[in-house]
Amino acid sequence: MAKTGFSLEIKGLHVSVESKEILTGLDLSVRQGEAHAIMGPNGSGKSTLANTILGHPKYEVTDGRIIFGGKDVSKLETDERAKAGLFLAMQYPTEIPGVTFSGFLRSAMNSVQGRTEKRGDLLSVVEFRDIVEEKLKVLKMDSGFLERYLNEGFSGGEKKRAEVLQMMLLAPKIAVLDETDSGLDIDSLKIVALAVKRMSGPSFGSLVITHYHRILRYLAPDHVHVMLGGRIVRSGGPALARTLEAKGYGWLRERGGPRRK
Ligand code: ADP
Ligand code: MG
């Protein structure tokens, strides 16, 4: 029987940044209802993958396909990918003068849910508040956070919570979260992991990209992949996560994984 549900299928993906090939033929499939993690050392191309799925213009797909819900999305704009149900936890533009986090979230929800001024169904401030309050509790975030300006003085942990809040509000079919490499404290890590777990269910698929082994303890993904040299060199289940935690990545390089140039 054919599996149902949406999936994100990445096939033979080659990506270049400024003419340098970073992704070298990456294959990956993530379905609704599944929790995946990609691990890999710094420089293996993890953020390049996240940015490419997001549709960042700097990342050029030179070969391969990114198929979401049966359609090739690799030429779509970022917001169209989001409307299709793909969530890409990403840095919002570094500076949007005068835009509060709450204003940003509300317009993101309106956009993803196809609400428009013309149709007269934009979320009101009050409706939005009701929806967001409950999520803030889960993330242990103060509602004062919402009135701050985008990225103005957000700490690493706050940025991560902000991203996760966005994910919870948009309720995507599949979410891609790239762990920033910089100072995410263990509490933030737990909150991110718990929020992802809380969302998990038959209609939610996740792909968490990280070089922290530790997050796997909280996330307990069903599928673990190791990325080296711009492609997935090994996939497995929870046992692979434990092996990585104990042994790191060196053994994979030695055993025929592609060596880094
Ligand atoms: P990871 O997230 O696994 O640490 P990255 O995807 O950030 O790996 O980087 C992989 C390689 O691509 C590195 O050699 C990095 O220097 C290069 N790279 C990534 N993004 C850019 C960029 N925007 N401009 C130039 N080089 C980049
Ligand atoms: Mg990275």
Taking the centre of ligand 1 as the mean of its atom positions, its distance from the CA of residue 44, in whole angstroms, is 8
The pLDDT mean for the chain works out to: 86
Q: What is the position in ligand 1's atom list of the atom closest to the CA of 49?
A: 6
* 13, 14, 17: residue to mutate for ligand 1 pocket, most atoms within 8 A of CB: 17
CA-closest residue to ligand 1 atom 15: 43
Taking the centre of ligand 2 as the mean of its atom positions, its distance from the CA of residue 178, in whole angstroms, is 7
- Those residues whose beta carbon sits under 5 angstroms from the ion ligand 2 are 46-47
State the ligand closest to the CA atom of 21: 1
Taking the centre of ligand 1 as the mean of its atom positions, its distance from the CA of residue 233, in whole angstroms, is 18
CB contact burial 31-43 (16+ within 10 A = b; e otherwise): bbbbbbbbbbbee
Taking the centre of ligand 2 as the mean of its atom positions, its distance from the CA of residue 209, in whole angstroms, is 8
Taking the centre of ligand 1 as the mean of its atom positions, its distance from the CA of residue 212, in whole angstroms, is 17
Taking the centre of ligand 2 as the mean of its atom positions, its distance from the CA of residue 127, in whole angstroms, is 36
Share of the chain above pLDDT 70, in %: 90
Most confident of 19-33, 39-53, 120-134, 160-174: 19-33
Going from the C-alpha of 134 to that of each of 10, 128, 206, 238, 245, the distances in angstroms are 34, 11, 22, 31, 35
Going from the C-alpha of 29 to that of each of 7, 36, 197, the distances in angstroms are 7, 9, 19
State the ligand closest to the CA atom of 38: 1
Residues with CB under 6 A from ligand 1: 17-18, 22, 40, 42-48, 58
What pLDDT does residue 79 have?
84
pLDDT in tens, 190-233: 777 888 888 989 999 999 988 777 777 888 899 999 999 999 99
CA-closest residue to ligand 1 atom 26: 17
Predicted confidence (pLDDT) at residue 260 exceeds the cutoff of 60: no
| Residues 215, 192 contacting (CB under 8 angstroms) | yes
DSSP label of 145: G
What pLDDT does residue 89 have?
73
Name the more confident of 241 and 96.
241
In whole angstroms, give the CA distance from residue 139 to residue 164: 8
Most confident of 18-22, 41-45, 77-81, 240-244: 18-22
What pLDDT does residue 132 have?
94
Q: Which pair of structure tokens corresponds to residue 261?
A: 């140039």
What pLDDT does residue 33 have?
95
* 19, 38, 42, 47: residue to mutate for ligand 1 pocket, most atoms within 8 A of CB: 47
Q: What is the DSSP string of 93-118?
A: PS--TT-BHHHHHHHHHHHHTT--TT
In the chain, where the domains are located: 7-92+172-254, 94-153
**Has domain 7-92+172-254 been given CATH number 3.40.50.300?**
yes
pLDDT in tens, 78-124: 888 988 999 987 644 455 667 888 998 998 899 889 999 999 999 99
Q: Which helix (H) or strand (E) element contains residue 20?
A: strand 20-31
State the ligand closest to the CA atom of 181: 2
DSSP label of 19: T
Predicted confidence (pLDDT) at residue 184 exceeds the cutoff of 70: no
CB contact burial 211-230 (16+ within 10 A = b; e otherwise): bbbebbeebebebbbbbbbb
